[in-house]
Structure 1
Amino acid sequence: MKKCFSVIICVVCILTLFACGKKANPIVLPQSSDVVSVDVIDGENTVNCSDKTWIDEVISGLSDSKPTNRESVQDFPQVDNYIKVELNSQTEKTTVFVYKDKGKFYVEQPYNGIYIIDSDLYKMFWELY
C-alpha cells in the first residue's frame, strides 16, 4: 500500500511539473488587410514585397505558428543566422525574426514569445534572396 501511494505521488508531481510549463503569449500581428508591404532583411540585404497574395500567405503562416515554452527576452534571437521581417501597415511596423535551430523552424517576436512555424513559411523568406 505504501509503495503504491509513493508511486501515485511521484506521478502526480511529474505531471504537475509538465503541466505548469508556460506557453508563449499569442503572436501579435496586424490584420492582413492593413499590411501594405513586408521588408525581409538578411544582414545588409533588404527585399521589399508589396504583393497582396504573398503578404496574405505570410500573415496566415505566422498566425498558424505554435507557441513554445521558450521566452523572448532580447531584441534579437540568440542564433547565428536569422531573417528580420518587418510587417508595414499605415500606422505601425511589426517586427519578427525567422530562423532555424536544431532542425526546427521558429518565428520570434521580441519580448512576446517564440513560436514554431512550418518549414514552407521559412523557405518563403529565404527564397526571396
Structure 2
Amino acid sequence: MKKCFSVIICVVCILTLFACSKKVNPIVLPQSSDVVSVDVTVGENTVNCSDKTWIDEVISGLSDSKPTNRESVQDSPHVKDYMRVEIDSQTEKTTVFVYKDKGKFYVEQPYSGICIIDEETYNQLKEVS
C-alpha cells in the first residue's frame, strides 16, 4: 500500500512540473507585405532598410522563431550588446531586440516574450548595421 501511494505521489509531482513549465507566446510581427521599412540600431548607429527582398527574409526569419520559457519583463534586454529593430508597417511600429547570449540567438519583444532565432537571421541584421 505504501509503495502504491509513493508511486501516485511521484506521478502527480512529475505532471505538476510539466504543467508549470509553459512556453511563452511567439512574438507578434506585422505581415511582411505591410512593412514599409526596418530600422536597425546598434549603439548610436541606425541604418534604415527598405529593400523588400531583405525585409521579407528578415520578417520570415523572425517569424520562424521558437518560443522559450523566458518572459520579457522590461523595456530592453538585460544583455550588454543587442540590436534594436524597429519595423515600420502601414499601420503600426513594432520594436524587437535581437542579441546573442551564451551561443544562442534571441529575439525579444518587450513585455511579450523571448524566442530563439537562427544564426542566419541574426547575421542578416548584423550585416546591415
- Where do 5+ consecutive residues of structure 1 fail to align? none
Amino acid at match of 1:29: L
Q: 1:19 offset after TM fit, Å?
A: 2.8
Deviation at 1:9, TM superposition (A): 2.2
Amino acid at match of 1:84: R
In the alignment, what sits opposite 1:97? 97
Match status 1:56 vs 2:52: no
- The 5 Å alignment of 1:1-129 reads 1-129=1-129
**Separation of aligned partners in 2, 1:64 and 1:124:** 14
Residues in 1 aligned to 2:11 and 2:117: alpha-carbon distance in whole angstroms: 32
What percent identity do the matched residue pairs reach? 82
C-alpha distance in 2, partners of 1:123/1:5?
54
How many Å separate the matches in 2 of 1:12 and 1:103?
A: 35
For structure 2, the 5+ residue unaligned runs are none
Take 1:109 and 1:121, find their aligned partners in 2: how far apart are those partners? 16
Per the TM alignment, residue 103 of structure 1 is displaced from its structure 2 partner at its CA by 1.3
**Aligned letter for 2:55?**
I
Flag as ranges the 4+ runs of structure 1 deviating above 6 A. Answer: none
